[in-house]
Every structure is written in structure tokens, then in C-alpha cells.
């Protein structure tokens, strides 16, 4: 930015770069919309005077909002590399995202984080990175890397780093683990935010967690949890993702008094979902339709998020701030008409003006290192005839733990034929070829029948997770997944029915959002029509989160069944 020229333009002694006329401008500071022109120079807002400009555009009375900010997202969960993610969300009005790359960090550690930083650096979408705090998520997880405070220290001074990512190791914070606390302190010393992840935490534990320096939480699922965190000075991120949809549950807790501590996030949203429902623009539509006033919703998507993450140059339309803007048709549908980033028109009528350039992922294309499978990798012996079984809750990451009678063979082996509706679920370590395989049971709440589904997207360690009602189909799905370098594979009766390769870290594709979304739609249709998977579950994202042991209650890892409430491994046999 040429600061001298900026002042010349602001004073009207030099032409502005751009003037937007006839706009209803969102003033998120005073809480009103007012008719005005907005002038832009050197990528920033010059002011509201109708000054001469090299380019003039007519807003036609539409509403001009600050660029929308996603307060917490895992780009990898879109299954797209950063450039393809940018061209998906920018036309929907999102100009900044706060991204936690702990998915790729669990696969390749610091190298994975550096890839996300470099792949995002020249994009029109401003990607701010929260350094992953928990790689692995828990000390006994089998991730592809281990990141300690010293490993993250070298990255904290990067201008694109906004702080420390979600602190899932709640026990480590509460017990005063030295490395955990040093990560938090190092981020705070540099003025960064520290994201939280504390489902169910309350009372004294929440006091300690907040006092340690954790400043946000996106895992609230009740109004009570929202209020508890705001009372402690934390920001609450109202999440609306593909698998976990908490926005409508939490909105009744948002009041005029506390709304400034609330912001929006997607966390994990698939490309087909974004193409169909939108991105941050969908949060605005949902919130306003549910009764939240439009200005509070806009603040939550802009100013609140900017303040939460210390982005002092954006979040509002005011002189001197970055010209990230979105023009929407009205305050009900929030359909983005044009989107500017840094004063440049990035998208119009849902289309990018120029496609962002991808960075070559190099060695990240070779990330599946699976040990040879034994003859019967999923054999499960339950001599007592009783088992702990994972049970899903509708549209939630939280699961239930059930104890059930199961039918077994004479030598105690679980048999599919005698347990209709019951599935096996397994996680296989895929980073170091250790050969670890954890096997458990999943009840009929998932609904799969007639084959198996395997994926290398398995939060957070991203080993291979596979579920099915036939051992041979499960094995075939895993072997095909290793062959294609990661992604999603669907098998039935000894055949591969379909697959979606995700060769970048076993998590992302370099294809366009439309191509990936079309493939996902095809696979989801197969999941419903062939496998009869429940409408209450997202076939692939739900499966991915069943391997995440930091969310209650019962989950599965490469080391076996994990009880997140008791915080210990438990046998499948009850």
C-alpha cells in the first residue's frame, strides 16, 4: 500500500480507484444501514464522499456488508486444496477464514502446516492460520506427527498466523501439563487468540480452562453452555457444519446484551453442502429466519469475528479499513451479488473473476503407509455375548455407549448373520505401518447394509476408518483406499462400487469444488440407495468423526474402543 497516495485519494486530491454508488451500507458500529457511496483506494476504504474515481459501479440500492468471516474452519474438511476452497467460498461472500490445519498437521506435522500457509499466501481469500495445538489430539493417538511447543514456536511469528488452534487436550490444561501451557502462553505472548474445544466442561473445570488463556469455544450445544462461556469472557462460535448443526440450538441464548461475544463458524462443511446451502451467507439466512435481527447477524459474521481474532483492519466499512466487501440483494436471502477483496472485484453473481492458482503439494501426495493386512484383520471375539456398542445421535458428533447382547459362534466370534443391523467398525493406522487395528461395533443407527465404506478422512489422526457388514468387503475397501492414496471407497459383494480419490494428504483433492461435489453426491446417492444409510447421518463425515476420541461418548481408534467420559480405553466385550 502506498500510504502517501492513500491520503491523497482520501483527501480528494487524487482519483479513487473505485466508487460504489447507491448502496445501503451496513454500519456495524452504530447498528444501522444508511444510503451512501463508498470510495476505495490502495485496497482500503477511503470514505463515503462522492469523490472522483477511475471506476464507478452502481449498487442499485443493494446492501453493502463487510466481507464475511468464518471464525473456525478446517479447509481440509472441504476435501479441497486451499485454492479450490477459495474459489468455492469467495463468491458466497466469505473473504476471510480462520483456518486450523490440524487435519493435515496430523498427517505431516510442520510440513503440512507450511503447505497450508504457502498454498494460501497469494489467494484472494485471506486465510489466517491457527497453529494446531493437539497433534496428536491425545497422547496415545497414532497420528503422523507429534507437535510440541518448540515445534510451533518457529511458526508463531508468521504474519498469517492468528494464534493457537482448538485446545482439545482439556485434561492437559486442567492438570497443568507443561507443554500444553507453554503452547498457550507462547500464543498469548504474541497477541494471538487461543481457540477452545470443551464440550460438556462446566464449573471449576471451565474456570481453570478459561483462566489458562483459552478464549473461544465452538463446541457449545446448549444455551447453558453458551452462557457459561460468555460469563467467563470467552467468545462463542455458533457452528453450522455438515455433520454438526448447532446454530438453531444456540440462537435462543443470543441476546442484545451478549451478542457481541458471539460469532459464526462452519468448522467442517463439505463442498456439495456449500454449493447447495452456501457458506457464511447461509448462517445469515438461518439466523435471520429464526428471528435474530439482521444487524446482529451481520456483526456476528464480520466485526465480532475480526475483534475476536485481532484483525483490526477489517470487519466493518469505515475509512482506513481493508476493502473486503460483499453486496447482497436483501437482508433475508443475503444472496451475494458482488464480492471485493482488498478493493478488487473477486466474484460476481456466484462466479470467480479469476481462478486462484494452486500450489504443488509435492510429497503430500504420498501419505498412505499401511502395513500389509493379516488374513482376518477384523476378527472380533466376544466370549461373554455382551458388548459395548457405539450408537449415533441424529446430526451430532456426540455418540452414545450401549451395552447389548450379541450372538457369537461356538468359539466366541461375532457373526454378522446372527446380528442383523449390527456393523463392525475399525480404524487402521496408516502413517507408520505399525499394523495397529482397533475393531468395535456400531449399532443400526448408522444404517449401512450390503457392503463396506472406508475413508482416510478420520478425525483427528486421519488413520483409515472402515465400517461394514462383511469382513471381506471391509478388507477390499481398505486395500483399494491404500492403492488410490486416500479418499473414500465403497465396496459390496467383493467389488469396488465407487471411490473419491483425495491424494493430498489423504484429505484433499486438487479438482474443482464442482467436480468433488459431483463425486460426493454420487457417493451419497449410493450410500442412501444401495447401503440404506440413515438420513439422520452424513454417510462420510459421521463415519470420520467416529474415530475422534475427544468427543463423548464412545469412539474407536487404532488402539481400540475409547470411553471419552471415563477417558480410558475399554474392551468391546462388556
364-374 tens-digit pLDDT? 999 999 999 99
CATH number of residue 85's parent domain: 3.20.20.140
Q: How far apart are the first and last CA of the chain?
A: 65
* pLDDT tens string 496-505: 999 999 999 9
Domain holding 505, by residue range, is 364-570
Q: What is the per-residue pLDDT for 1?
A: 76
Q: What is the CA radius of gyration of the chain?
A: 24
* pLDDT tens string 1-17: 788 899 999 999 999 99
Q: What is the per-residue pLDDT for 398?
A: 87
What would the grid cell of residue 142 be? Answer: 497414532
Confidence of residue 140 (pLDDT cuts 50, 70, 90): confident
Confidence of residue 567 (pLDDT cuts 50, 70, 90): confident
Confidence of residue 137 (pLDDT cuts 50, 70, 90): confident
Same domain for 303 and 415: no
Of 315, 343, 378, the last residue of a domain is 315
How confident is the model over 512-526, as a mean pLDDT?
94
Same domain for 368 and 309: no
What would the grid cell of residue 446 be? Answer: 448408522
Q: What is the per-residue pLDDT for 243?
A: 75
The closest alpha carbon to 67, from 356, 357, 345, 354, belongs to 345
Rounded Cα–Cα distance for residues 76 and 328 (Å): 28
- Asked if residue 52 belongs to a domain, the reply is no
- Asked if residue 560 belongs to a domain, the reply is yes
What distances in angstroms separate CA 285 from CA 90, 129, 423, one per listed residue? 17, 27, 38
Of 295, 315, 335, the last residue of a domain is 315
How confident is the model over 87-93, as a mean pLDDT?
98
Q: What is the 3-state secondary structure (H, E, C) of 159-199?
A: CCEEEEEEECCHHHHHHCCHHHHHHHHHHHHCCCEEEECCC
Q: What is the per-residue pLDDT for 397?
A: 81
How many domains does one find in the chain? 2
Same domain for 288 and 159: yes
Q: What is the per-residue pLDDT for 419?
A: 97
Res 210 pLDDT > 80: yes
Rounded Cα–Cα distance for residues 146 and 265 (Å): 27
Q: What is the per-residue pLDDT for 102?
A: 93
Q: What is the per-residue pLDDT for 138?
A: 82
What element of type H or E holds 404? strand 399-405
Of 315, 334, 352, the last residue of a domain is 315
**How many other CB atoms are found less than 10 A from the CB of residue 118?**
12
The owner of cell 456393523 is: 423
Rounded Cα–Cα distance for residues 130 and 168 (Å): 13
Res 349 pLDDT > 90: yes
Rounded Cα–Cα distance for residues 270 and 517 (Å): 8
- Asked if residue 153 belongs to a domain, the reply is yes
Residue 311: cis peptide before it, omega within 30 degrees of 0: no
How confident is the model over 249-257, as a mean pLDDT?
97
- Asked if residue 344 belongs to a domain, the reply is no
Q: Note the pTM of the prediction, 2 decimals.
A: 0.91
Q: What is the per-residue pLDDT for 2?
A: 85
* pLDDT tens string 461-506: 999 999 999 999 999 999 999 999 999 999 999 999 999 999 999 9
- Asked if residue 341 belongs to a domain, the reply is no
Same domain for 423 and 294: no
How confident is the model over 497-526, as a mean pLDDT?
96
Same domain for 380 and 258: no
Amino acid at each position: 500500500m502506498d500510504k502517501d497516495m492513500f491520503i491523497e485519494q482520501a483527501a480528494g486530491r487524487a482519483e479513487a480507484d473505485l466508487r460504489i454508488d447507491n448502496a445501503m451500507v451496513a454500519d456495524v458500529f452504530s447498528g444501522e444501514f444508511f444510503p451512501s457511496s463508498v470510495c476505495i483506494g490502495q485496497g482500503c476504504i477511503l470514505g463515503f464522499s462522492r469523490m472522483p474515481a477511475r471506476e464507478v459501479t452502481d449498487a442499485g440500492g443493494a446492501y453493502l456488508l463487510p466481507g464475511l468471516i468464518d471464525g473456525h474452519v478446517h479447509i481440509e474438511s472441504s476435501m479441497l486444496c486451499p485454492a479450490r476452497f477459495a474459489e468455492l467460498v469467495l463468491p458466497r461472500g466469505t473473504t476471510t477464514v480462520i483456518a486450523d490445519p490440524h487435519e493435515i498437521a496430523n498427517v505431516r506435522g510442520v510440513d503440512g502446516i507450511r503447505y497450508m500457509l504457502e498454498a494460501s499466501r497469494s489467494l484472494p481469500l485471506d486465510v489466517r492460520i491457527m497453529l494446531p495445538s493437539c497433534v496428536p489430539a491425545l497422547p496415545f493417538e497414532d497420528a503422523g506427527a507429534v507437535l510440541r511447543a518448540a515445534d510451533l514456536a518457529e511458526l508463531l511469528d508468521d504474519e498469517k498466523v492468528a494464534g493457537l488452534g482448538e485446545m482439545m487436550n482439556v485434561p492437559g490444561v486442567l492438570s497443568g501439563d507443561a507443554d500444553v501451557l507453554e503452547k498457550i502462553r507462547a500464543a498469548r505472548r504474541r497477541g494471538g487468540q487461543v481457540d477452545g474445544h470443551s464440550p460438556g466442561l462446566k464449573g471449576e473445570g471451565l474456570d481453570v480452562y478459561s483462566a489458562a488463556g483459552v478464549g473461544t469455544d465452538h463446541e457449545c450445544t446448549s444455551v447453558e453452555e453458551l452462557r457459561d462461556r460468555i460469563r467467563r469472557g470467552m467468545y462463542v462460535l455458533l457452528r453450522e457444519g455438515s455433520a454438526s448443526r448447532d446454530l438453531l440450538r444456540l440462537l435462543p441464548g443470543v441476546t442484545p446484551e451478549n451478542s457481541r461475544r458471539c460469532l459464526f463458524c462452519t468448522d467442517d462443511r463439505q463442498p456439495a453442502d456449500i454449493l447447495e446451502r452456501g457458506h457464511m451467507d447461509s448462517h445469515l439466512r438461518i439466523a435471520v429466519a429464526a428471528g435474530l435481527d439482521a444487524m446482529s447477524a451481520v456483526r456476528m459474521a464480520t466485526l465480532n469475528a475480526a475483534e475476536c481474532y485481532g484483525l483490526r483492519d477489517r470487519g466493518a466499512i469505515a475509512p482506513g479499513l481493508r476493502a473486503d466487501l460483499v453486496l447482497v440483494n436483501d437482508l433475508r436471502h443475503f444472496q451475494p451479488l458482488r464480492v471485493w477483496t482488498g478493493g478488487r472485484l473477486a466474484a460476481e453473481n456466484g462466479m470467480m473473476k479469476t481462478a486462484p492458482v494452486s500450489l504443488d503439494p509435492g510429497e503430500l501426495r504420498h501419505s498412505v503407509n499401511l502395513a500389509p493386512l493379516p488374513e482376518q484383520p477384523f476378527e472380533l471375539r466376544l466370549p461373554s455375548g455382551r458388548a459395548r456398542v457405539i450408537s449415533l445421535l441424529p446430526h451430532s458428533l456426540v455418540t452414545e455407549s450401549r451395552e447389548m447382547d450379541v450372538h457369537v459362534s461356538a468359539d466366541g466370534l461375532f457373526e454378522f448373520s446372527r446380528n442383523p443391523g449390527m456393523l463392525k467398525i475399525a480404524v487402521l493406522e496408516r502413517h507408520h505401518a505399525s499394523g495397529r487395528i482397533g475393531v468395535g461395533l456400531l449399532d443400526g443407527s448408522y444404517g449401512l447394509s450390503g457392503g463396506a465404506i472406508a475413508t482416510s478422512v478420520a478425525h483427528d489422526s486421519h488413520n483409515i476408518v472402515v465400517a461394514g457388514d462383511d469382513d471381506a468387503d471391509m478388507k477390499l475397501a481398505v486395500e483399494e483406499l491404500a492403492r488410490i492414496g486416500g479418499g473414500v471407497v465403497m465396496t459390496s459383494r467383493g467389488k469396488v462400487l465407487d471411490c473419491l480419490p483425495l491424494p493430498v494428504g489423504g484429505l484433499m483433492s486438487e479438482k474443482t469444488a464442482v467436480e468433488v461435489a459431483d463425486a460426493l453426491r454420487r457417493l451419497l446417492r449410493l450410500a442412501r440407495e444401495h447401503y440404506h444409510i440413515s438420513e439422520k447421518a452424513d454417510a462420510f463425515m459421521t463415519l470420520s468423526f467416529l474415530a475422534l476420541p475427544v468427543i463423548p461418548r464412545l469412539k474407536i481408534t487404532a488402539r481400540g474402543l475409547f470411553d471419552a467420559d471415563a477417558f480410558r480405553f475399554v474392551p468391546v466385550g462388556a
